[in-house]
Each structure stands twice: as structure tokens, then as C-alpha cells.
Chain A
Amino acid sequence: MSDTHAQTVAFVREGMLDQQPPPTREAGTVKWVRENLFPTWLNAILTIVSLYVIWVVVSTFVMWAFSPTWNATSLSECRQMLEELGRSTETACWGVIRDRWEQLLFGFYPSDLYWRPTVALIVLLAGLGPVLFGTFPRWFMGFSLASPFLIFLLLWGGPIWLPLTVALGFGLGVVAFRVFSRVNQIVAVLVAIVIPLLYWLLLAWPLASELARVMPIGLEPVQSKQFGGFMLSIVIGVTAIVLSLPLGILLALGRASNLFIVTKLSVVFIEIIRGVPLIVWLFTASLLLNYFLPPGTNFDLTLRVIIMVTLFSAAYIAEVVRGGLSAVPKGQYEGANSLGLSYWQSMQLIVLPQALKISIPGIVNTFIGLFKDTTLVLFIGLLDPLGLINSIRASTDWNGIYWELYVFVALLFFVACFSMGRYSLHLEKKLQREHR
């Protein structure tokens, strides 16, 4: 057989040719550029325009931002430094950040106590760890539960007894529930709500002040009107986030329940809150909230703002959770019912874990929005970072400075919100894997 070709074909190749490299147009960078940047005329134009835009923006920004004015202590000194360097006065003066960064972070918090908000932030992050990532040992959960009281003590200071006695109320509630649940579930729930309430209203305050008189242990008290800057944003944001989540879940359950009156009340509450801008609610908190309380009550503006922001974000979270609740297949509800679980048992064990999983991205988005919206407190006279920008610009040293402060604050917000967004993506991916 091997000779057949010897007669019919003049030439037969016996060895394989070496592999040739692909044509340059079809390989490596050239191919990538051709396919991704210049596939069509329109795309080529778009690419060039984009490159031009990037060039203009980046070169302007670098020329502006690269400026060795770190040591200037006032705008005029900074301008002088720039003139000596032969640079235009339209260049950044970073001295203002060096001069005032502590104020932008802590507001008018006493400067010798800056360690307290810093430690509080660390406690916060540590306390959030097990909640956010769920890979911590179980005893750490106890620390998470204690961290709100610790943070309160660190930020506001005062005698150690107030947060302790308030925490005791929760302990009382748990103990009461344990004791009475042997008798009757419904009675146990009622008692577990009523006893701590009575305790807080009647006993907690006298007890705390008595203890403080006997054993004055504590930190130097700080007024909340001294709070400011990013610290204020984080305090308002995180408190509202933590408080609004349970409230929002309750509202969502109310809206999805089949009790007519409860549903209607939840709908009215959610829609009224969502239909009106936050800024109007903030003004309501600062101008009107005192009118709705018994004559003579006058409590802290920061606290009023936190209450309003909590109610506001609870309405948004309720809508997100409602979406999650309706995404849980009907068979799950029916399955829970057919097992004879009560409403709360089926919600707690079957429906909510699935619904919350689905709504996590939405919840995180609500939180990002809420954190950004804390800047609005500037309008009612609280000194958030933007409010502090105004007051720094009003000082004689830095009168006339704009961009540096805006860029600094924008960068801090960007870092915070961007990392929250990434965290939500991470969670989404993790949960998707679990679904498979």
C-alpha cells in the first residue's frame, strides 16, 4: 500500500512542517487592541474620544493635585509657597487637610479624647465581624451583643452604670421569657415585653444614678452636640441601620400578613414615609418632634435625628424584605403550615431565613443610601463632614478653599460606600454558591 502514491503523486511530504507563529494581526496585544478598541469605525471614534477625555481629566487632576503644600498652615502661606515654586495658584493646598483632618473626622470632640471614638470604631468592626462573615467562634457573639453598650459608653462617656442598667433590662426580659414559657407561650411573650419596659421606665434611671453616686466609675462625659465629622455620620448611620433592620422586618411581615387592619396600617406607614423626602423628615425631627411629646420634654437633637432616620430606613427595608418574602415559593409557607408550626415559628425557621438571604443585596444598598443620606443632617445644623467644610471655609486661615476639602470628604465616603457595595457582591456570590 505504501507504494501506491509513489506512482500517482509526484511529491509526498514525509515530515511535518514546524508550527508557524500566528500572524501578528491575529495574536497578542495587536489582536486584543483590534478586537476590543477598534473593531468598527464607530468604536474607533469612541475609543479616541474616551482616551482624550481620560487624558484631559487625569492630566488636569494630576497637575492640580501634585503640589508639595503639605506644611502650609493657611491659604495665603500656601499661595506663597506655590509662587516660590513657580506654580499657578490654581493648585491644591493640601495643608488644609493636614491642619483640619482631625476636625473632619471627629468634629468638636475633645481632642484629648480622640482615642475613645477610635476604640469605639474598632469595637464596632469587631462586633460586626461575626454578623457579617459568620466564621467567628460562637462565644464571640456575646461580644457582639455587648458591643452596643460598650460603644455607647465610649462615645458619650458618663458613669458606667447607665449602659449596664439598660443592658440589665434585656437580661430581665430573657429571664422572664424563660421562666414563663413553661407556663404559657403567649403570657411569656407579654411578660418579656412588659417587665423590661416597666423596669426601664421606673427603675433603671434611679438605679443607675444611685449606683453612680455610690461608686462613681466612668469616663468623662461628652455632649452629643460636640460630635461631628465622619464620626457623626457613622454614629447616625450605624445606629439607624442596626435599629431599622428589625423594625423593617416587622413592617414587612405586617404588610405581607393576612390580617386586614395590620396590613393596611403597615402600608400607610411605609408609603407615607417613602413618599416624602428625608430632608422633610429631618426638619420635622428638628422643628416638630418636640410638639408631639408631653409638654416640657426636650431631648437631644442627635437622638431625634437618629429616630427619624431609623423610621425612614425601616420603611425602605420593609419594601426590600417584602420583595424577599414574596420571592419565597408558596410551597415553603404551606410546608411550614402542614408541619403544624405556628406563625412565628414558621417565619423564624422557614420563611425569613430564605427571604432575608434573597434580600441581602437590597438591604445593603439601602444601607449605602442611608449612609450617604446622613450628610443631609447639615441642613438642621449638625456638623457632619459637609457642615464642617463650611465652617472650615469660614475660618480666616482657609477662607476661599474649595476643592481639597470636597475631594477629601468624597474620597472617604467613596471608600466606605464602595467597600459596602463590594461586600454585598461577595455575599451575593457566596449565597449563589450555596443555592446550587
Chain B
Amino acid sequence: MSSMTDSPPRESFRLSQLIYDTRYRSLTIQVVTLLLVCAGVYWLINNLLVNLTAKDLEPSFSFLQSRAGYDIGTTLIPYTNADTHLRAAYVGILNTLLVAALGIVLATIIGVLAGVARLSKNWIVSRLMAVYVEGFRNVPLLLWILLIYAVFSESTPQPRDFRPGPDGTAASSMIWDSFAVTNRGFYMPAPVWGPSSEILGIVFLASILAAFLYRRYAKKLLYDTGRLLPMVWPIFAILIVPVVLAFFVMGRPVTLDYPVLKGFNFGGGIQISNPLMALWLALSLYTGAFITEIVRAGILSVSKGQSEAAAALGVRPNRAMSLVILPQAMRVIIPPLTSQYLNLTKNSSLAIAVGYPDVKATLGGITLNQTGRALECMLLMGLFYLALSLVISFVMNIINNSMKLQER
């Protein structure tokens, strides 16, 4: 027996053990892999440096500080062509973020509505949604972007069609005198923040806080006493009434600036350019079709026993949906939803198809072509998209963790 508990006889280390002994083999494999990868990377970078030196293009980011010299159609921050390439890239980044954020919001709305409609017992509605989903999922996004852009730029009236002709009627008219759809873009009224309008903002923030407090109070009351306070209408009232009251008490500090036809184009108001509209709609409809299927699969994944159990307990269908089915469906929905958000953000780089100045068009387009700094521009752009993807995954992971089933 004692020989069993004794330590095994010490063997001297032989080289063949590196391959045949499982204790060392994994180490061998890893070291060999690492060496191979390092050699490969070294080879690539060496080639790169040799090639760049030969072309007199040593890596340097100083071009970012030089004058850009080109104009950008849609800018969220002040920008002129005298600004630097860095600022142009910044404008592009903001534009990418804008279209991605708008797209994520609209795609979610479309996807959830269509997903619920897809499951509706109404035959026509569910068929219609099936056609929508299959149509958008099976045709390339680029084609949809170009098609929707063509609709906007070909089938919408020109600004001059809004001018009354000799007989006093115009070929096109604005909707409620405030919205105009033209082939140059979509015009809508812009709010003008008058003096002391910030008080309105403070009132609104306070009412949001009040709504939260009310919700917490109602929940506490429900758990403590079982009394159910109405939720929807009081919260709605808390959010709306104080702001409206303050608006009139302070003598209407916020006014609207309506778009007006001036010369050959509209002036005033907010203009949403056609490229942005087309890109936004196409991205949202395309991603919405995928989200529809995700929502549908999520709701279907909740077993039927759950809704039956809820019904047996006397829970009404709407409350069963919000209290029993959706919380469970969300756990299934959120991970693929995250990857759809990531896809939408990455697909926003198709903006160059319609000339929307996103980061691919400014930093990776004009700046790259002007300076010839392909490596640096591509590197910066790749890093930007990588960082954006990581941020979105991070946020969605937090949401996912809060939705997770609390297991003991």
C-alpha cells in the first residue's frame, strides 16, 4: 500500500515529453502558436513599414491638424471648410451616432409593433407582417437604401411646386402649413427657446421625478396592502399638466419657427436632408424586420402553461402579458436584439451610397482621398466602430443582467 501513496518515481525530463505528455503538450502547442502568430504579425508589419517607407508615407497622424477644405452637408456642430480634418471626422462621428440612435429607436418601435401584429389572430394583419418581414429580410439593405432614396428624390415635389401658380393654386401644399416633403428634404417647424424657457425644462424634469415617485409609492402600496392604484392616467397627467400650466403662466416662452418658402427653397424650421431620411427609414425598416422575428420568437418561447396559469389565477390578458409573458420573453429577446443594434450601427456605414456624411464619408472618404493616409484613416475608423460596438454591447449586457431570471 505504501508504494501507492509514495510520490511517483522521478523521471528525468525528456524532450519527447513535450509532445507525448499531456501535461506539457498544451504548453508546447500554445508556445508554437504564439511564435507562429508573432512571426506572421511581424512579417505583415515589416512589409507594411517597408512599403510605406518606399512610398514616403511613414505613419503619422499630423494630417488630422491640417485644414480640411471641404464642406459637409449635414452638420450637428458648427463646421466650415477652414476647420481641421479632426473636426471633420468629429462631425462624421456625430452624424453616424445620430443616424444609429434614430435608427435604433425607430427599428425597435417597428419591430415590437410588427412582432405583436405578426402573432395577431387577425389573418390579414399577420399575413401582411409576414410579407413585410420576408420582403425586407431577403433583399440586400443597400438596395433598400437606394430604392427608398430614389422614392424620396424622384417621387416627391420640388420646392417650387409649393409656390402658387397663376391660377392661385400650388401643385403641392404643406401639411398643416408646417411640414413639407420635398425632393431636397423634409421640413418641419423648429422650436425657438425664448427667455426663461429653461424653467420649463426644470418643471419637466421635476414632473418626471414626481412620476417616478408616484410609481414607487403605488408599487409599495400594492405590495403592502394589495390596493391597486391606477397607473397610466395619473402618470400621464403628472408629466403633462405642470409643463402646460407653466407654459401658459409664463406667457408662452417657446414658439415655433415654421419653414417658409423663400426663393427656390424653404427657409427656417428644421430640415432633415433626404439622404438622412432615406438612410434612417431603410435602416429602421430593414432592422425592424429582423427585430419582428426576434420579438415573435421571444413571445412564442414562453410556454403556453405560463399564460394558462396566469388565466387560472384570474389575471386579465393585458396584465398577464405585461407581468407574466413579457418579462420572460425579454430574456430571450435581448441577446439577439443586441446583435441587431450592433448590425444597424455597422450598417449605417452604407451612408456613402446616398451621400450622407457619416464617419465613413468624412474620415474614410474625403479626408482619406485628399491626404492619401489610408492606413491611419482606416485605423481610426476601425477603432471608432470597435469602440462603439463595445459600448453598445456593454449597455445591453447591463440591461440583460437586470432582466435575468433571479435564480437562487
Contact residues of A with B, CB < 8 Å? 35-37, 39, 43, 46-47, 50-51, 53-54, 186, 258-262, 265, 271-272, 274-280, 283-284, 287-288, 290-295, 368, 372-373, 375-376, 378-379, 386, 402-403, 406, 409-410, 413-414, 417-418, 421
Contacts and interface: CB of A to CB of B under 8 A. Distances in A.
A259 B30 contact: yes
B378 A283 contact: yes
A39 B123 CA distance: 11
A259 B142 contact: no
Contacts of A43: 120-122, 125
A271 B37 CA distance: 17
B173 interface: no
A36 B141 CA distance: 33
A292 B44 contact: yes
B350 A274 contact: no
Contacts of A39: 121-122
A178 to B, nearest CB: 21
Interface string B20-41: 0000001001100110010000
Given A260-B30, A288-B374, A280 B385 contact: yes
B381 A280 contact: yes
Interface string B287-323: 0000000000000000000000000000000000000
Given A37-B122, A47-B125, A277-B385, A373 B134 contact: no
Contact of A386 (B19, B26, B146): B146
Interface string B118-135: 001111110010000011
B381 A413 contact: no
A403 B37 contact: no
A386 B142 contact: yes
B228 interface: no
Contacts of A280: 349, 360, 364, 378, 381-382, 385
B52 interface: yes
Interface string B353-379: 100000010001000100000110010
Main secondary structure on A side of the interface with B: helix
Nearest to A373: B140
A19 B147 CA distance: 59
7 contacts: A43-B121, A43-B122, A277-B385, A291-B52, A292-B47, A378-B142, A410-B143
Interface string B51-93: 1101000000000000000000000000000000000000000
A51 to B, nearest CB: 7
Contacts of B346: 276-278
B30 A414 contact: no
A406 B143 contact: yes
B30 A379 contact: no
Contacts of B120: 43, 46
Contact of B350 (A47, A279, A409): A279
Interface of B: 19, 26, 29-30, 33-34, 37, 44, 47-48, 50-52, 54, 117, 120-125, 128, 134-135, 137-143, 146-147, 150, 154, 346-347, 349-350, 352-353, 360, 364, 368, 374-375, 378, 381-382, 385-386, 389-390
Given A54-B128, A275-B385, A280-B378, A294 B47 contact: yes
Contacts, number: 146
A213 B50 CA distance: 37
Contacts of A53: 128
Given A259-B26, A287-B374, A403-B150, A413 B128 contact: no
Main secondary structure on B side of the interface with A: helix
A274 B389 contact: yes
A375 B142 contact: yes
Contacts of B139: 372, 410, 413-414, 417
B146 A259 contact: no
A406 B150 contact: yes
Of B30, B154, B364, most A-chain CB atoms within 10 Å: B30
Given A279-B360, A280-B385, 4 more contacts: A47-B124, A274-B389, A372-B141, A406-B150
Given A260-B30, A261-B34, A275-B386, A291 B147 contact: no
Contacts of B154: 402
Contact of A376 (B124, B350, B364, B378): B350
B124 A37 contact: yes
B51 A291 contact: yes
B292 to A, nearest CB: 14
B26 A295 contact: no
Of A294, A375, A418, most B-chain CB atoms within 10 Å: A375
B385 A265 contact: no
A262 B30 contact: yes
Of A258, A272, A410, most B-chain CB atoms within 10 Å: A410
A372 B286 CA distance: 12
Nearest to A410: B139
Of A51, A259, A276, A295, most B-chain CB atoms within 10 Å: A276
Nearest to B154: A402
A22 B84 CA distance: 80
A421 B134 CA distance: 10
B44 to A, nearest CB: 5
A294 B52 CA distance: 11
A277 B349 contact: yes
B375 A291 contact: yes
Given A279-B349, A288-B378, A265 B125 contact: no
A284 B374 CA distance: 8
B135 A414 contact: yes
Of B123, B137, B140, most A-chain CB atoms within 10 Å: B140
Given A283-B364, A402-B150, A376 B143 contact: no
Nearest to B26: A259
B147 A410 contact: yes
B128 A295 contact: no
Contact of B134 (A259, A260, A271, A418): A418
B293 to A, nearest CB: 10
B33 A291 contact: no
A53 B132 CA distance: 12
B26 to A, nearest CB: 5
Given A372-B141, A413-B139, A295 B124 contact: no
A130 B381 CA distance: 43
A372 B33 CA distance: 35
Nearest to A49: B125
Given A46-B125, A47-B124, A376 B142 contact: yes
Contact of A276 (B19, B350, B352, B382): B382
B364 A51 contact: no
A259 B32 CA distance: 12
A86 to B, nearest CB: 22
Contacts of A262: 29-30, 33
A59 to B, nearest CB: 16
A293 to B, nearest CB: 6
A54 B125 CA distance: 10
Nearest to B147: A406
Contacts of A295: 47, 50-51, 54
Nearest to B19: A186
B146 A406 contact: yes
Contacts of A288: 374-375, 378
A54 B390 CA distance: 41
B23 to A, nearest CB: 13
B374 A413 contact: no
Given A46-B125, A418-B138, A413 B30 contact: no
A47 B120 CA distance: 11
A37 B47 contact: no
B124 to A, nearest CB: 5
